[in-house]
Structure 1
Amino acid sequence: MARRRRLSLPVIVLIGGLVVIAAAAVGTLLLTSGNGGNQSGGSNVDRPVKEPTPRSSGGLAGGPEPSVARPASKYAPLLEEMPPEMRVNVSETFTMNITTFTASYWFDTNAQGEGLAQQWRIIDGYQVQYDPVGLAAQVVQGGYSAWIEVYLFETPAGARTAYEYYTNRLAARSGSERAEARPLANQSAAFRFAGPTIGTSDVPSVYHRFVFRRGNAVVSIQTYGAVPYMSTDQARELAVLVDAKLLGEAPAVEPTPIPTPAIGVIGG
C-alpha cells in the first residue's frame, strides 16, 4: 500500500451536497495541536443544538488485562456487526505495516513514530472505515461514519504507555473536549469535537472518539454524524463489541485480508 500523506488540516470535501471523508485527514481533526491545524471546529449554525444524553452502559470496566494474540484485524467489528446501510471504505481499510504506522496522524514526524514504536514494541495494527451508504443524505437523518483502529503491543505495559500518549495528544488538541461516557476496560477516555454543517444543510456535525486499553491492546474509535443524533454512545457501543472480542466473550473473526505486510515484532 502506498504511504499515506501526513495532513495538518482535516479534510471534508463537499461535492453536490455529498460528504466525501478522508479518514487519515479526519483523524487529524482531534489530533493537531496548533502548528497550522484547523483551530475553529465551529458548526457555523446560529441556533443551539443539544446532543442526546449518552446512555451506553454495557461492557466491563476494569477486569482482566490479557495479552491477546495477533492479528489485530480479528478484534475489529465486521460489516454485519455494524448498523444497517453502511459500507466498507476499502481504500481506508488495511493491516498496518511499520511504514503506515509511523507515518500516521498520531505522530508529528516519521522519526517520532519510529522511536515510539520501538519503545512501545507494537506488534500489529489494523484500521477499518465504515461509511453510510447514503453519505450526507443519510448522515443528516442519523447515519454516521466510523473509524476503528486496533493496535497490539508485546505487553500490557507497552500498551499502557501508548494509551497515555494517545489520550494526552487528543486532550491537547485545540477545540477537543472531554466527553461524557461510562468507563470501559482497563483504561478509557472519550472526546468530542464540533464539526461544520453537513453538505448543503444547516445541520451541524460532530466527531466523537472513544479510546480504551484492554491488556496489550489499544483501540481508538471515532464517529462522525449529525449533532441531533450523536453522542459518545455510537463509539462506545462499538468499543464494547471490540472489548468483548478481546476478552474472548464474542467471536473474533479475521476479515477477508487486504494484502499488506504486517508490522511483525519490532526489535525482535
Structure 2
Amino acid sequence: MPSFDISRSRFRLADEHVIVLCALATGNEVPDELTAAQKELFDCGLVDEDGKLSAALLPLMETVLSPGVVISLEAAGRQGKLHHGMLIGADHVVAHETWPGVTEAEYSLVEPKTLVWKLSDMVNLQKSPVGPDTAPSPVETTIGTVEAGLAVLEGEGLVRSAHDERAAIRQALATGGDLGEQALTLVADLISELRSSWRLTSAWQTRHEGRDAAATRGFAVWDCGPLGYWLRELPAEPVPEERITPASTFRLVRVEAKTIWTRITGLLPDQDELRHAAAQQPRRG
C-alpha cells in the first residue's frame, strides 16, 4: 500500500502508483489494469475522487515528470538487486530508494546542497580503515571468470560454512585458468567478503557540436567490507550490456573512500550544463 510522511516530504510508492500519478498529472487516462493502484492512492489520501493529486505531491511530480539530471544506482548483493536513484529538477531534487523484498520504494525531497551526501549514504560509503595496504592491485581477469565465482553466492538451497563457500568460490574461479595463485586467492577473498557491487550513472541533455545530445557519466565499485573498496576500471562505465561478453576484461583496483566521494561528485554536471539541462525541460503549471 502507498503511504506518506508529510513531516519529511517522503512517500512510499510502487511502480504502478508512480505510473498512475504521472497519468493523472498529465491529464491522461489511467489504464484499466491500474485502477486498483489508483484506488490505493485514493484510500491513502494522495488522490481525490476526481483524480486530483494532493498538493503535497506537487514538488515530487514536477521533478519526476521533468528531471534535468537522472542519476541511477544499481546495487547487487546476497539479497538480490536493488535500484535506487535521484532526479534533479529545476526547483527540486528527488531521491528514490528501494528495500529488499518490498514492492514500494521511498521517494523523498532532498536539499540540493546535500545531494552528494545523500548519494554517499545510498552506497553506504564509510571511512576507509587505517592501515597498510599490502594487497596487490590492480587485479585483472575476465567477466566469465568473475561471474563463475559470483554464481556460487547465488546458489539456491545451499547451506555451507564460510570456509566451504570460499573453497567453492576458489574452485569456480580456477576453472577460468587465467588467474595466478596470488590473484586467485585475492579474488576468492573479495567475492567471499562482497557486501555489494554497485554502479552509479548520471545522464542529462547537453550540446555537442552545435546539437542537443545526451551526456552520461558513471563508475562501478565492489564494497568488500574489511577488504575495502575496489573500483571497477574495466569494463568502464557507462557501457551497454550488449557490449560485454564472458571474454571481456574485468579489472579491479583498490581505492580509498575519499576517491569514491570524488567520483560521486564528478557524476554531476557543472553549472552551465545544469542550466542547459533545466532549459530543455518544459515548465508545468
TM-score range normalised by the length of the shorter chain: under 0.3
TM-score normalised to the size of structure 1? 0.21
TM-score normalised to the size of structure 2? 0.20
Give the structure with the higher percent helix: 2
